[in-house]
Structures are given as C-alpha cells and as structure tokens.
C-alpha cells in the first residue's frame, strides 16, 4: 500500500469531522526530558506509539494523563495544540491521545 493509504491521516480526518471517535492501545511510551525547540514549555512530556484499532501505529503525544500509565492501556484521539510556530505565534494543532476515563 502507498504511504497515503497507510497513514493515520484518514483516522485524523474522521476525528476532526467528529464523525467517529478514534481509539487505540499503548504500543509503547516514553518521557521526553530533552525537548526540541517549540516543545520546551511542555517538557517533560510523554510521547507514544499508539496501535489504532484499525491496526495502524501512530506516533503522538499523550495528554490529560493523571497518574500512572501502562503498556496496552486504552487511549482515544483528541485534537490539541502541538506547538506555537515562531515568534508570530501561529498555533499548530494536531492529534494527541488521552487515557480513556475509567
């Protein structure tokens, strides 16, 4: 399959349209202690590989994490601010994942 067909953008588009919720499980996660430019204010933050329910993996930050997280935890896609682009302050939005409310 081509990259476009395999990419998570289809799921993202669905989430943006509000057509459906996108769920997945934590394939892996880490905490970024040495952030790149544009992410300094958020550090330390959690980055994850999420296995979407349709079988694809996606790289994204975790958000709204309250307490411990674990491998295999259920998460859902949400739209969040990723970073602020440059001094003019253009806000870049994208997808993050949050644990399902138990």
Give contact residues for other proteins (rule: CB under 8 A).
3, 6-8, 27-40, 42, 45, 47-49, 56-61, 71, 82-83, 92, 94, 96
Least Å from the CB of residue 38 to other proteins: 8
C-alpha distances (whole Å) from 17 to each of 14, 48, 78, 79, 88 are 5, 24, 12, 11, 28
Pseudo-torsion of CA 63, 102, 49, 36, nearest 10°?
20
CB atoms near residue 45 (< 10 Å): 17
Least Å from the CB of residue 51 to other proteins: 10
Residue number, 6 or 64, with CB nearest to other proteins = 6
Least Å from the CB of residue 40 to other proteins: 5
């Amino acid at each position: 399959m081509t990259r476009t067909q395999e990419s998570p953008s289809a799921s993202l588009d669905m989430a943006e349209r509000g057509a459906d919720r996108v769920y997945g499980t934590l394939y892996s996660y880490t905490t970024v202690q040495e952030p790149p430019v544009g992410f300094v204010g958020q550090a330390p933050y959690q980055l994850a590989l999420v296995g979407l329910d349709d079988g694809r993996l996606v790289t994204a930050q975790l958000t709204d994490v309250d307490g411990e997280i674990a491998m295999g935890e259920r998460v859902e896609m949400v739209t969040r601010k990723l970073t602020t682009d440059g001094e003019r302050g253009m806000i870049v939005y994208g997808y993050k994942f949050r644990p399902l409310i138990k």
